[in-house]
Amino acid sequence: MKRLLVVRLSALGDVIHAIPAVAALRDHFEIDWVVESQYRELVETVAQVTAKPVSLKRWSVKKIREAQRAVAGHEIAIDFQGLIKSALLARASGAADRYGFASQFIREKPAAWLINRHVEVDPSTHVVEWNLRLAQALLAECGNRLQPSRPAEAGPHTAGDFSRFATASSFAGRIVLIPGAGRPEKQWPVERFRDLARRIGSAALVVWGPSEQPLAEAVGAELAPPTNLRELAGVLRDAQLVIGGDTGPLHLAAALGTKVVGLYGPTSPARNGPYGQLGGCVSTFATTRSMLTIEVDDVFARLTPRVVGGR
Q: What is the DSSP letter of 61?
A: H
Measuring CA to CA, which residue among 233, 206, 239 is closest to residue 221? 206
Q: CB burial class (10 A; 0-12, 13-18, 19+) of residue 260?
A: buried
Dihedral of CA 89/90/91/94: which sign? Answer: positive
Q: What is the chain's mean pLDDT, rounded?
A: 92
Residue 155 has pLDDT above 60, yes or no: no
Which helix (H) or strand (E) segment holds residue 40: the answer is helix 40-42
* Residue 187: per-residue pLDDT: 98
CA distance 226 to 91: 38
The answer to whether 38 and 57 have CB atoms below 8 angstroms apart is no
CA distance 200 to 192: 12
Please state the rounded mean pLDDT for residues 218-242: 96
Q: Comparing 133-142, 191-200, 269-278, 297-306, which segment has the lowest mean pLDDT?
A: 297-306
Please state the rounded mean pLDDT for residues 224-228: 95
Summarize pLDDT for 76-85 with one digit per residue, the tens. Answer: 999 999 999 9
pTM above 0.95, yes or no: no
Give phi and psi for 224, each to the nearest 5: -70, 155
CA distance 98 to 90: 7
Amino acid sitting at position 109: K
**Strand, helix or coil for residue 117:** strand
Residue 149 has pLDDT above 80, yes or no: no
Q: At what angle do helices 248-255 and 229-238 cross, to 10 degrees?
A: 60
- Beta bridge partners, 175, equal 204, 241
- pLDDT band of residue 150 (cuts 50, 70, 90) is very low
Residue 298 has pLDDT above 80, yes or no: yes
User: What single string gives the DSSP state of each residue in 35-64?
Assistant: EEGGGHHHIIIII-SEEEEE--TT--HHHH
